[in-house]
Amino acid sequence: MNDSKQRGRRTFIAALGATMAGVALPSWAKYQSDQFRIGYQKAASTLVLLKAHGALEKRLAPLGVKVSWNEFPAGPQLLEGLNVGAIDFGYVGEAPPVFAQAAGADFVYTAYEVPTPHAEGVVVVQDSPIKSVADLKGKKIAFNKGSDVHWFIVALLRKNGLDFPDIQPVYLAPADARAALEQHAVDAWAIWDPFLAAVEGQSNARLIADAQGVASHHQFFLSQREFAQKRKDVIAIALEELGKEGQWVKQNVSAAAAQLAPIQGLDAAIIETGLRHYAHVYKPIDDTVLAEQQRIADTFYELKLIPRKIVTKEAVLT
C-alpha cells in the first residue's frame, strides 16, 4: 500500500470515531474458497430475510460452501470489516464505498438496488421552528458519518442554495441520533428507513425533505476483490437468491414486515411503511451508477471529506 493510501486508511478509521467504539469485528482469516462471509445491517431487510429463510445455505451446500453472517451497526463499520478481511460480501449505501475506496480498501462493486429516494429523509421534532431546508442553515444536524445520509445532506443543502459548511454536523449512530433529536440536543436528524418510519410513527417527527429529486439513494452489494475474482459462482448464486427474496418481499410486504418485526425490534406496521420505500430490485453494476458514485466522490474531495481523489471505475472487476 502506498503512502497516500496508508494515510487515507488511517483517516478513514479515525473518521469512524465514536461510532466504532465497542464494535467487535468478527474474527477473520485470509480468503477461503469454502467460506462465504456476509456482512449485513439489521435494517437491510432483504438480507435479513434471506438469512432467516436459509435459502442461500441450501443453494451453496452442494458446492461445499459454508455461509456465515456478521452484523454491523452501519455501512462505514461494515466497509472496515470488508477492508480488514472479516467478510467477503456486504450491503451498504452510497457514501460508505466512497470513503472506503479513498482509504485504500480493496473491494469491488457487484450489484445495486434501483433508486429508493423516499427511504431517507431529514426530520425535526413536531414543534420545531424549522419549516424548510433553508431553515437548516446554522443548525445542528445529526447523522451517521460516512453513511448514505452523509451524501444526502450535502446534496440536499446544495440543491437549496446552501452548502455543507453552512450547517453544524453532529456525527451520531442512529440510536444516539434519535435520542439527541427527542431531547432537543440537535435541531434535525438525517436518517434512512426503517429508522425514518419509526421516528415519524413513534415520535411524531416531522419530515422536512426526503431524497426525491436530490439523491438516488442507491444501495450496493460489495465484494472483497479476491473473493469476487475466484468465486464468481458463489456471488452469482447469492445475487440470484437476493433477487428472489426481493420479489417475495414486494409481493408479500405485510408478511415480510411481520417476520422482520421481532428481528428489528419495531412494530410491523412501521417496518411495512419502510419496506414500501425500497425497490427490492437488484441489478449488476453499470457505468451510469458508477458515474453517480464518481460525482459523490468528487464532491466529497472538494469538501475535504475524503483525503484524495478516487476513480470509482477502479473498484470493479475488469
- Select from 224, 209, 280, 200 the least CA-distant residue to 37: 224
User: What pLDDT score was predicted for residue 161?
Assistant: 97
Q: Is a pLDDT exceeding 90 seen at residue 311?
A: yes
User: What pLDDT score was predicted for residue 178?
Assistant: 96
pLDDT mean over 227-243: 96
Q: Give the sign of the dihedral formed by CA 43, CA 47, CA 49, CA 54.
A: negative
Please give the Cα distance from 50 to 58 (Å, whole number): 11
Confidence of residue 32 (pLDDT cuts 50, 70, 90): confident
Q: What is the pLDDT of residues 267-296, one digit of tens each?
A: 999 999 999 999 999 999 999 999 999 999
Q: Is a pLDDT exceeding 60 seen at residue 205?
A: yes
User: What pLDDT score was predicted for residue 44?
Assistant: 82
- Select from 281, 276, 272, 271 the least CA-distant residue to 247: 281
Q: What is the mean pLDDT of the chain?
A: 89
Greater model confidence, 57 or 85: 57
* Spatial contact of 22 and 73, defined as CB atoms under 8 Å apart: no
User: What pLDDT score was predicted for residue 29?
Assistant: 52
Instruction: List the domains of the chain with CATH numbers.
Output: 3-114+218-315 (3.40.190.10), 118-210 (3.40.190.10)
Confidence of residue 20 (pLDDT cuts 50, 70, 90): very low
pLDDT mean over 173-182: 94
User: What pLDDT score was predicted for residue 30?
Assistant: 61
C-alpha cell at 180: 439527541
Confidence of residue 12 (pLDDT cuts 50, 70, 90): very low
Please give the Cα distance from 6 to 231 (Å, whole number): 28
Please give the Cα distance from 3 to 102 (Å, whole number): 12
Q: What is the pLDDT of residues 147-164, one digit of tens each?
A: 889 999 999 999 999 999
* Spatial contact of 221 and 157, defined as CB atoms under 8 Å apart: no
* 200: region left, alpha or beta (phi > 0 left; psi from -120 to 50 alpha): alpha
